[in-house]
Amino acid sequence: LFAAFAQTAGISGINISKPLVMAGLFLGGMLPFLFSSMAMKAVGVAAMEMIEEVRRQFREIPGLLEGKAKPDTARCVKISTEASLKRMVAPGALAILTPVVVGFTMGPEPLGGLLAGVTVSGVTMALFMANAGGAWDNAKKSFESGGGYKMTDGSVHPKGSDAHTASVVGDTVGDPFKDTAGPSLNILVKLMSIVALVLAPLLV
C-alpha cells in the first residue's frame, strides 16, 4: 500500500531533512500509542458499565443471587453492542481524518512520512501487545492449573497467593492488549494507507 501511494503521488523518496516530512514521521509514530490508548480506555469504560448493570440486577431482581431467577441478558448484550459501536467512533475518526488533514495541509511527501511512521511504530507495538498480553494471560493460567506455579528456586505459589494476585492484575491488562489494542493496530495501519492511497491523485 505504501509503494502504491508513493507511485500514485509521484514520490520517489522521503527526505527526512525536510521539517514537514520529519513532523509527519513523528506524528505517524505517535498515532499508534494514541489509538491504542483510546481503544483500551473504551474497553475499560464498557467494562465498568457492564459491572454496574450486573450489580443493579443483583440488587433489583429477587432471587437472582440465589440462582432462582434469570438475569436480564438482553440488557448486557445491548450495553456491549452500544459500547463497541459508540466508543470506537473517535479512534475510527482519528484513523480516517489524520491522513486527510496531513495530506491537504502539508502535502504528499509529509503524508508519506506519516505512513512510514505509523507503519513502523504500529507493527512493532502490535507485536509487543500481542506477545505481552498473551504472556500475562498465560501467567495467570499457570497459577490456576494444578497445584500452583513452581518458581525457579523451588517454591510453589498456589492460587490465592500474592504472586497469583499479581498475575490476575497482569491478566486484566493483558486481555485488552492481546484482544483489543494489538489487533486493532493492524486495522489502523491498513486503513490510513488506504485513505492516503485514495487521496493521492488529489494531492499531485
Helix, strand, or coil (residue 164): helix
pTM (two decimals): 0.79
Confidence band, pLDDT 50/70/90 cuts, at residue 122: very high
Which residues span the domain enclosing 28? 2-203
pLDDT in tens, 168-194: 888 888 888 888 888 889 999 999 999
Give, as one character, the DSSP assignment of residue 107: -
- Summarize the confidence of residues 8-35 as an average pLDDT: 88
Helix, strand, or coil (residue 150): strand
Location of C-alpha cell 454496574: 52
Amino acid at 196: A
Answer yes or no: is pLDDT of 151 > 70.
no
Check residue 189 and give its pLDDT: 92
Check residue 140 and give its pLDDT: 79
Looking at per-residue pLDDT, the higher value among 145 and 200 belongs to: 200
Number of compact structural domains in the chain:
1
* Alpha carbon separation from 75 to 58, 60, 78, 83, 86 (Å, rounded): 13, 14, 5, 12, 16
* Alpha carbon separation from 26 to 7, 106, 152, 164 (Å, rounded): 22, 14, 42, 39
pLDDT in tens, 131-149: 988 888 887 777 777 666 6
